[in-house]
Amino acid sequence: MFSARTLAWVPIVIGVLLYRSGDLLLNGVLNRSSFPRGYIADGNYSSDCKTVRDYTVSPEESLRFCEDETFWELYDAQAKLAERTVIVSCDPGRKAWNTVMGPLRDPTPHGGLWLYAFAGDATRRDGKATRILNPNISVNQAHRITLKNYPQNHDFHPLGLEIWPSYSGNSSNLYVINHARKETVVEHFLLNPAHPTEAKHIRTIRSLHFLSANGLALTSPDSFYVSNDHLMTRRLPIVGHVLPLVESILGLPLGFVSHITLNKHTSTETDPISKKEFAKLFIPFANGISISSSGTDFALASTSMGEILLYERDLATNKLKHKKETIRLPFFPDNVNFSPSNSSNGLEEIIVGGHPNFPDLIQVAKSKSAGSPSWVIAIVPKESGNGERSLVFDQDAPVSTNSKIQMDGVRWTMKTLFQSDGVEEKRGFACSTAGLRDPDSGVIYVTGIYAQGGMMVCKPGLAN
C-alpha cells in the first residue's frame, strides 16, 4: 500500500522526466510513427538493401541478433588503404541472456563474430586490384569467425567491439566486450588477413571498470575507452530486475567511461592492465562511443536521455575535456560511429543507430511483437561552423527528424540514412543498433539487436 507521502512524489518524478526528456518521451514511448517498410537515402530500398544471414543453416549457427559492427581497415606496404571489411558481433541466444535488458535465463549458447567483405572493395581505388584479404574469402557474404584457443567452459556473449587496422598484412588486435555468465569482461583476439575467419584468443581482461561495459573505442593497439551503461546491474541479487530499470527510466547519471591501457600480451606481467582511470563520470545510460579520425573528438550516446554528447579529447592524456555539444535525437540512440564527410571544414559526420519506439523493442525482446522499427541518421557538420539554426531539414525521409525536432544546430544538421517499420515477415528490418557508411563506396551497414536477418547491407545506386 502506497503512503500519501510516496504518492506525492509521483507528479514530481513525472515533472522531472517531462522537463529533462519530454520530447523523447513523446517521440519514443507514447507516440508511434508510421515508418515505411524500408527507406535508404539516395537509393531504392527494395533493390538496394538485403540482409546477409545465411538461411541455409540453423539459426543457432547463423548471423542474427547483431549488436555492433566495426570496419577492419587493411593497408598495403605503402601505407595506403587497400580494403575495408566489416566485423559484426551477434548473439542468437540474446533473448535468453541479456545483461542490459534482461532476462538472465540461459547463458549457455555462444554468440559469434562474423566477417563481411564487399565485392567492389579490393578494386575500387585507381582501378587496380589491391586485395590483402585472403582471396578465398567470398564477397557479399557473411563468414563466421572461429574463436581459436578460446577457453573451454567460458561463455561468449559479444556486445561492443573494435579492431586496430592491419598494415602490410600483419595481425590486428581485436577487442570484444563479453557479457559472460558471472561478470562482464573484455576478450582480446588477434585476427590476420591471411586467415580472417580465425580469431586467435589471447587473453580475457577483467576489471571493475567493465562493471556494465557496453561500447568500446580503441586509442592504440593496446588501449581503449569503454563505456558502462549502468551502475546498478541486473546481476544484483533480488533487486537486479528493478534497480537498473529505475536507473534507466529516471535517467540517473550513474553510467561512466573509463580508459584502459594494457601491457602488451608478450609481456611477463601477470596483470594485463597497466593503467586504468575514469575518463568521464555521471552519464545517464552511457552506451555507444566513437573517436574521430583526428582523435580530438569523442562521441558518446546517452540512451535514456536521447542525446549524443560530443567531447574534446586530449591526445596526450586521453582525458575527455569540456563538452563541445549536446545533440538531441528523436529516438533512443544505441551505437555511434564517426564517418568522413565531404564537408570543406574537415569535420566528420556521426552515424547513429537507435530505437524509435522503446515499448516495441521490449515487446520484440519478449517475442510478443512482430517488429520494432529501425532508424539510422547522420549528424552532418554544416559548412560554416557559425551558421544559423534551420527550421527545415531532412525533408527526404518518410519520417523526418524535423517532424520530431523543431530546429537543427548551429554547427550541425541531420539526415536520415535508413528507416524501416521492422516487420521482418514483410521484408522490413528490426531493432537497429548501429550504422556504418563506407566513405568510398557509400555502402551502408545496419545491425539489429533482435533482427532475424542480423545485418542489412544497402548499396544505394550500386548493382547488387
pLDDT tens for each residue of 57-87: 777 778 999 999 999 999 999 999 999 999 9
Residues 15-26 have pLDDT tens digits of 555 555 668 888
Q: Is the pLDDT of residue 114 over 70?
A: yes
Are the C-beta atoms of residues 282 and 227 closer than 8 Å to each other? no
Q: What is the pLDDT of residue 128?
A: 56
Omega of the bond leading into 103 within 30 degrees of 0 (cis): yes
Q: What is the pLDDT of residue 38?
A: 98
**Best CATH choice for the domain 23-458 from the list 3.40.640.10, 2.120.10.30, 3.90.550.10, 1.10.1740.10:** 2.120.10.30
Dihedral of CA atoms 359, 360, 361, 367 in degrees, nearest 10, equals: 110
Are the C-beta atoms of residues 96 and 155 closer than 8 Å to each other? no
CA 410 from centre of chain: 26
Residues 344-393 have pLDDT tens digits of 566 799 999 999 999 999 999 988 887 899 999 999 998 766 678 999 99
**From 2-6, 45-49, 423-427, the region with the lowest mean pLDDT:** 2-6
Residues 318-336 have pLDDT tens digits of 999 989 999 999 999 999 9
C-alpha distance from residue 194 to each of 83, 121, 166, 180, 406 (Å)? 13, 16, 11, 29, 50
CA 216 from centre of chain: 9
- For residue 358, which of 99, 23, 25, 92 has the smallest C-alpha distance? 25
Type of residue numbered 378: A
Cell of 16: 522531472
Mean of pLDDT values over 28-51? 94
Q: What is the pLDDT of residue 61?
A: 76
Give the pLDDT band (50/70/90) at residue 29. Answer: confident
